A and B are shown apart, each in its own frame.
Chain A
Amino acid sequence: MFGFLCVLGLWQISCHTWAQNLPTPAKTWEMSRLYITDPFAKRGEMDQGILRFTWNSLVLVTKGYLIALLIGTPLGFILGSSRGFAKTFDPLIQMLKPISPLAWLPLGLVLFQKTTPSAIFTIAICSMWPTVLNTAIGVRNVPQDYLNVGRVLRFSRKKMLFKILLPAALPYMFTGYRLSLGIAWLVIVAAEMLTGAPGIGGFLWQEYNSLIYEHIILSIITIGLIGFLLDWMMQAVERRMGAALS
């Protein structure tokens, strides 16, 4: 709480000293009130309540994120259980991982022609890697003892996967899922800024172009809060998983 007050103070001081263009906290609140007090209003395509924008963004993020999990988890399993596979594909993944969403998006537009699928594509491909890598680490680190239990009980491959590997790797997988969600949320803003989709990032960019700087700050705060909430949610899930499995 004290931290927030500090930032608020700094913000206020900045407005009067070096950052003359920055709206003051009071001004920001004044200009944003309508968006906050009526958060689900829809007055026009790019003029909606803040939570409505957020909701649009979340829908997009969810789609991309789910694709990332659906592809990333099996990929991680293959990578973790086959040494040859890991050797071949690890360098490739290390190379793909640092590519910025700003670089993927144009490729998505070329591939899909439309903005929504290319945004989903970008989210999926950017947020996939923590899931892939953490799942692979989890699978690679399944203790030999657990595998031996499966072996002496003569488990089939399927049973080995579902009764031993999956539960043993689950805590790692959830760490990956959490990191992936963080990245997905990071990417959505960039993607919407480029595509101008009616979400929180699109709103931010539009308001910048319309010189309504108060709304930039409103958007930033919203993005931060939602990101924090998402991470907090995933952490809770992760903790429950960890407690259930350790």
Chain B
Amino acid sequence: MSAPMLELRGVGKSYGSRAVLRDVNLHIFEGEFVCAVGYSGSGKTTLMNMIAGLLAPDKGELLFDGTPIQGPSLNRALIFQNYSLLPWLSAQRNVELAVRERFPELSSAEVREHARRYLQKVKLGHALDRRPTELSGGMRQRVSLARGLAMEPQILLLDEPLGALDALTRAELQDEFVRLQEQEHRTILMITNDVDEAVLLADRIVPLSAGPGATFGASIPITTSRPRDRRKLNDDPCYHHDRKAVLRYLLAHGPQDTARAASRRQQRSAVMSSALEVTPV
């Protein structure tokens, strides 16, 4: 296989004396859809911000296309956990803003057309002129996604894109993601705290242990066959196997901030074995 598009080597980050991430290693190859799954507060956003170039690591190296990441680049589009749409611009204008930066050679008519095409792709063709406050949470996330996709970056960084949505909208958007990925074959690194979501979407899952000092476990290839359909997943033995593997790592590397960690871990493995029996809807 050729050189990885994105490579993290021994990356560490602390805020003051609190170590958030330590010795994080990761490879992502072109065309892969990788999901990083981890506990809340374990440093997932911190990691994404470093890859996006918004934050410098304390230790280690981040390489993109073989060169160290120095700052933000239009080749790495970050989709923020909280959408971060500019409230004074319509959906269309929010997307245009990014398109214009990314493709300065386009005329304004072309920019408009390009933005509209991507908004239609995420099924927002009817809400182009609405401002973020006039959109539902799910629609805002679609705008944010369209903004990222429209930049046609080499890698798309998704920071818990569906984290703030209710379960139904979330499922709907997950299916949308599956559909989009089947059409577009982007290179994607997506963060989530939802194991089922990760297994549904990813080619490969990297589990992140709980903080402080969170780090990635060995990556788990997802063998569940594509195209994936959430209604048929339950009948797929691969799906259950993959899901268990991820849960097993996460439960074994959960929060452990006191001396009672060991006993908690025992309790947790009891919880785990019951959790593993639970099947998704």
* Same complex: yes
Given A154-B101, A155-B101, A163-B97, residue A146 in contact with residue B84 (CB < 8 A):
yes
Q: Which of B80, B84, B88 contacts A167 (CB 8 A)?
A: B88
Residue from A149, A154, A246 whose CB has the most chain B CB atoms within 10 Å: A149
- Residues of A near B54 (CB, < 8 A) are 148, 151-152
Q: Of the 9-residue stretches B70-78, B178-186, B208-216, which lies at the interface with chain A? A: B70-78
Q: Which of B71, B76, B86, B102 contacts A149 (CB 8 A)?
A: B86
Would you call B77 and A152 a contact (CB within 8 A)?
Answer: yes
Within 8 A of A (CB), among B46-96: 52-54, 71-74, 76-78, 80, 82, 84, 86-88
- Residues of B near A167 (CB, < 8 A) are 86, 88
Chain A residue at minimum C-beta to C-beta distance from B101: A153
Q: How many residues of chain A get a CB closer than 8 Å to chain B's CBs?
A: 17
- In the assembled complex, the CB of B80 is this many whole angstroms from the nearest CB of chain A, namely 7
- In the assembled complex, the CB of A152 is this many whole angstroms from the nearest CB of chain B, namely 5
Chain A residue at minimum C-beta to C-beta distance from B99: A153
- Residues of B near A149 (CB, < 8 A) are 80, 84, 86
CA distance A146 to B78 in the complex (A): 13
Within 8 A of B (CB), among A152-170: 152-155, 163-164, 167-168, 170
Within 8 A of B (CB), among A191-246: 244-246
User: Range of interface residues on chain B?
Assistant: 20 to 34
- Residues of B near A146 (CB, < 8 A) are 84, 86
CA distance A149 to B80 in the complex (A): 9
- Residues of A near B102 (CB, < 8 A) are 153
Would you call B87 and A153 a contact (CB within 8 A)?
Answer: no
Q: Which of A151, A154, A164, A244 contacts B86 (CB 8 A)?
A: A164
User: Is B128 positioned at the interface, with any CB of A under 8 Å from its CB?
Assistant: no
- Residues of B near A244 (CB, < 8 A) are 88
Chain B residue at minimum C-beta to C-beta distance from A153: B101
User: Is A45 positioned at the interface, with any CB of B under 8 Å from its CB?
Assistant: no
- In the assembled complex, the CB of A220 is this many whole angstroms from the nearest CB of chain B, namely 41
Would you call B84 and A148 a contact (CB within 8 A)?
Answer: yes
* Interface bits B191-235 vs A (CB < 8 Å: 1, else 0): 000000000000000000000000000000000000000000000
- In the assembled complex, the CB of B84 is this many whole angstroms from the nearest CB of chain A, namely 4
Given A145-B82, A154-B101, A155-B101, residue A245 in contact with residue B88 (CB < 8 A):
yes
CA distance A152 to B153 in the complex (A): 12
CA distance A149 to B52 in the complex (A): 11
Q: Which of B72, B82, B88, B98 contacts A151 (CB 8 A)?
A: B72
User: Is B133 positioned at the interface, with any CB of A under 8 Å from its CB?
Assistant: yes
Would you call A246 and B86 a contact (CB within 8 A)?
Answer: no
Would you call B84 and A153 a contact (CB within 8 A)?
Answer: no
Would you call B86 and A152 a contact (CB within 8 A)?
Answer: no
CA distance A168 to B86 in the complex (A): 8
Would you call B84 and A154 a contact (CB within 8 A)?
Answer: no
Chain B residue at minimum C-beta to C-beta distance from A171: B88
Chain B residues packing against A (C-beta within 8 Å): 52-54, 71-74, 76-78, 80, 82, 84, 86-88, 97-98, 101-102, 133
Chain A residues packing against B (C-beta within 8 Å): 145-146, 148-149, 151-155, 163-164, 167-168, 170, 244-246
Give 15 A-B pairs besides A152-B54, A167-B86 with Cβ atoms closer than 8 angstroms. A145-B80, A146-B84, A148-B78, A151-B72, A152-B53, A153-B101, A154-B71, A154-B74, A164-B86, A168-B86, A170-B88, A244-B88, A245-B88, A246-B88, A246-B133
Q: Would you list 22 pairs from A and B whose C-beta atoms are within 8 A, ordered by A residue?
A: A145-B84, A148-B78, A148-B80, A149-B80, A149-B84, A151-B54, A151-B72, A152-B52, A152-B76, A152-B77, A153-B72, A153-B98, A153-B102, A154-B74, A154-B101, A167-B88, A168-B86, A168-B88, A245-B87, A246-B87, A246-B88, A246-B133
